[in-house]
Amino acid sequence: MKITAETTQYRVNITDPATNKVNKVNFPLVGTIKEKRQQIKDIKIFIANCRVEAKKLEVKALIYEAEACRQLKHTQDINLLSNVKKSRQKERKQSIEGLFERYKLTEGYNKITTTVQYQREKHFDKFVKFLENNNVVDIEQIDFDDAVKFMSSLKVKASTYNKYLVNLSGVFKGVGLNNPFYGIKRRNQEEDASVKIPFSDDELKLILSKFTGDWLDICKIAAYTGLRFIDVVHLKKENITLDFDKKDYVIKLQPAKTRHTGRFVYIQLIDELKFLLDAPVDARGYFFPDKVDKYKKGTRHAGSSLNHVFMKKLKAIDIKDKSFHCFRHRFVDKLRRAGFSDEQIGTVVGHSSIQQTKDYGDYHNVIDLKKTF
> CATH second-level architecture of 195-371?
Orthogonal Bundle (1.10)
pTM above threshold 0.85: no
Assess whether pLDDT exceeds 90 at residue 246: no
Highest averaged pLDDT of the listed ranges 84-93, 213-222, 332-341, 352-361: 213-222
Q: Give 111-161 pLDDT, tens digit per residue.
A: 888 888 889 999 999 998 888 888 877 777 788 888 999 998 888 888 888
**Three-class secondary structure assignment of 97-129:** HHHHHHHHCCHHHHHCCHHHHHHHHHHHHHHHH
- Per-residue pLDDT, averaged over 62-84, amounts to 71
Measuring CA to CA, which residue among 316, 314, 315, 334 is closest to residue 223? 334
- Mean pLDDT of the region 318-328: 86
φ/ψ bin of 298: left (φ > 0), alpha (ψ from -120 to 50), beta (otherwise): left
pLDDT tens digits, one per residue of 174-202: 988 889 998 888 887 655 554 567 888 99
Please state, in angstroms and rounded to a whole number, the distance separating the CA atoms of residues 229 and 216: 13
Cα 278 from chain centroid? 41
Is the pLDDT assigned to residue 249 strictly greater than 80?
yes
Domain ranges in the chain? 9-73, 106-187, 195-371
Query: pLDDT tens digit string along 33-48?
Result: 888 888 888 888 887 8
In the chain, the amino acid numbered 172 is F
DSSP 251: E
